[in-house]
Amino acid sequence: MKVIMLGAPGAGKGTQAKRLAAEYNIPHISTGDIFRANIKGGTELGKKAKGYMDAGQLVPDELVCDLVVDRISQDDAKNGYVLDGFPRTIPQAEALDAALAAKGENVDYAVNIDVPDEAIISRMSGRRACVGCGATYHIIFNAPKVADVCDVCGSKLIIRDDDKPETVRNRLSVYHAQTQPLIDYYDAKGLVVNIDGTKDMDAVFAEILEKIGK
Ligand code: AMP
């Protein structure tokens, strides 16, 4: 099962992608997580990506595509994967298709989680991320047991630079200009599954499972 998650930043892709990956026992591959781990580790890739991420811009395709093609070729991905945050541009989708076609494979579903911009802006203002392990929370929808403390590792929770309001507005306009066209791209291949992302997390997950035939 090879699934890609589409939807605006803050639509709930990450949460649903993790649950879907656990359900099918396949890896959850988040390019945002890969970049954040590289920034934390002080790698060359992290240094190159940070400026774009903090400004709410996309990291250039050439820094993303090889990394993903390499990741999905690893052993744990042989039964499939859930791609979260990739592809984000038409050239990235074409690079993914080309890499899969070379192995006689293809994407099974493009799950599009639909949430209006106004709902996204109010949601993002409540997001918190752990400085230690990267776990994510929401002060209303997915609150940590103790305010500002990670349930998983006990580290402090912060607002990620890319969740700050001015960055969120930038990220939404980047999404509409560069990523939304992917809905038509995958629709033309008959792969899009549209999901109402305004419902609560469990209802959204149930709708995904129902529509992809679990
Ligand atoms: P995310 O955690 O998926 O919201 O990603 C956070 C940030 O990482 C994005 O705003 C981009 O700056 C960068 N990023 C993640 N995935 C990609 C991608 N596929 N292409 C370009 N930039 C990306």
Q: What is the CATH number of the domain that holds 188?
A: 3.40.50.300
- Using a CB cutoff of 8 Å and minimum separation of 24, what contacts does 88-94 make? 88/31, 88/58, 88/64, 88/178, 88/179, 88/182, 89/58, 89/61, 89/178, 89/179, 89/182, 90/181, 90/182, 90/185, 91/61, 91/65, 92/61, 92/64, 92/65, 92/68, 93/182, 93/185, 93/186
Catalytic residue among 19, 36, 127, 128: 127
Whether residue 173 lies inside any domain: the answer is yes
176 within some domain: yes
Specify if 183 maps to a domain.
yes
Q: Encoding tokens for residue 72?
A: 């999905």
Task: Retrieve residue 172's tokens.
Answer: 């939404």
User: Is 154 inside any structural domain?
Assistant: no
Ligand 1 pocket member 31 (CB < 6 A): yes
Q: How far is residue 88 from each of residues 96, 116, 135, 175, 182, measured CA to CA in Å?
A: 11, 18, 22, 8, 8
Taking the whole predicted model, whether its pTM rises above 0.85 is answered as yes
Overall number of domains in the chain: 1
Q: Say what the pLDDT of residue 193 is.
A: 97
- Say if ligand 1 is within 6 A of residue 48 CB: no
Q: What is the pLDDT of residues 172-201, one digit of tens each?
A: 999 999 999 999 999 999 999 999 999 999
Maximal C-alpha separation, the chain: 49
Which residues are within 8 A (CB) of 157 and not within 5 positions of it... i.e. 6 or more apart? Answer: 128, 129, 130, 131, 137, 144, 148, 149, 150
The answer to which of 20-29, 48-57, 151-160 has the lowest mean pLDDT is 48-57
Domain membership flag for residue 141:
no
CB 32 near ligand 1, within 6 Å: yes
Q: How confident is the model at residue 164 (pLDDT cuts 50, 70, 90)?
A: confident
The secondary structure of 34-83 as a DSSP string is HHHHHHHTT-HHHHHHHHHHHTTPPPPHHHHHHHHHHHTTSGGGTT-EEE
**Is 50 labeled as catalytic in the residue annotation?**
no
85 located within any domain: yes
Distance from the alpha carbon of residue 53 to the mean position of ligand 1, in angstroms? 7
DSSP one-letter string for 109-134: EEEEEE--HHHHHHHHTTEEEETTT-
Q: What is residue 156's DSSP assignment? A: B
Model confidence at 207, pLDDT cuts 50, 70, 90, reads very high
Distance 34 CA to ligand 1 centre (A): 9
Print the domain residue range for 101. Answer: 2-115+168-212
Q: Which two structure tokens, joined as six digits, stand for 123?
A: 């949601």
Rounded to an integer, the average pLDDT of 133-159 is 94
For the cut 80, the answer to whether the pLDDT of residue 162 exceeds it is: no
Indicate whether 86 belongs to any domain.
yes
Chain segment 38-69, per-residue pLDDT in tens: 999 999 999 999 999 988 889 999 999 999 99
In a domain, 25, yes or no: yes
Q: Which of 19, 36, 128, 160 is catalytic?
A: 160
